[in-house]
Amino acid sequence: MDQGGKERLKRALEETPGAPNLTWEEIAEVHRYKTDLYLKLLREEGVTLRPGVRRLLGEAREAGVALGLCTTTSPENAEAFLEGTGLLGWFDLVLAGDVVPRKKPDPSIYLLAQERLGLAPEEALVVEDSRNGLLSAKGAGFPVLITPSLYTLDQDYREAEALLPHLGEPGDPAPVLQGPRARERVVVDLGYLEEVRRWWST
């Protein structure tokens, strides 16, 4: 599984019969064009966060928890997304795009986050939505809670400490598919994240 837009585009071209054989520079140019369209859509249409995301981030901020965003998307896309969702300035650290030479599933981006935030793996927890993200975070030694996206529903998450379809909201708790309180329904809050960390450490 390739991670990062340029890498996915390169793989798609290689696997599509009759597709043009583009150089890396041409692929980067197509990716820039796609990014421009994405940014235009973000600014004009906005974006809706998945259930529980804003609530959980708000709880973490109020509690003084350090927040980091580690993404393979470009810094421009990351900033536009955060601005479009009203989350710009909420994160203590944003690592995006080619900030590390090897992208997820390589652990480099999470190792860099660990270094910059000054956190040991037992002091943190990663929330991810793909197998590449899971492998990246686990490779850096972190416990991981997975909430798959529409595009990653069929991926394998057996190594995750917890697996839920979303983070839940009051009145709409999420079923726990794997991990602490499996087969119950929960609203993921800081308390539940601590349960996941304890589950990981035992």
Q: Quick one: 136 exposed, middle or buried, by C-beta within 10 A (0-12, 13-18, 19+)? A: buried
Tokens standing for residue 122: 């037992």
The residue ranges of every structural domain in the chain are: 5-45, 53-201
CATH superfamily for domain 53-201: HAD superfamily/HAD-like (3.40.50.1000)
pTM recorded for the entire structure: 0.83
Determine the Cα–Cα distance for residues 135 and 152; give it in Å rounded to an integer. Answer: 14
- Whole-Å CA distances, 162 to 159, 170, 189: 9, 19, 13
pLDDT of the residue at 2: 44
Tell me whether the omega of the peptide bond preceding residue 75 falls within 30 degrees of 0, making it cis: no
Dist. CA 124–CA 122, nearest whole Å: 6
Please write the tens of the pLDDT for every residue from 144-175.
Answer: 999 999 989 999 999 999 999 999 999 999 99
pLDDT band at 3 (very low <50, low <70, confident <90, very high): low
- Of 48, 75, 188, whose CA–CA distance to 127 is shortest? 188
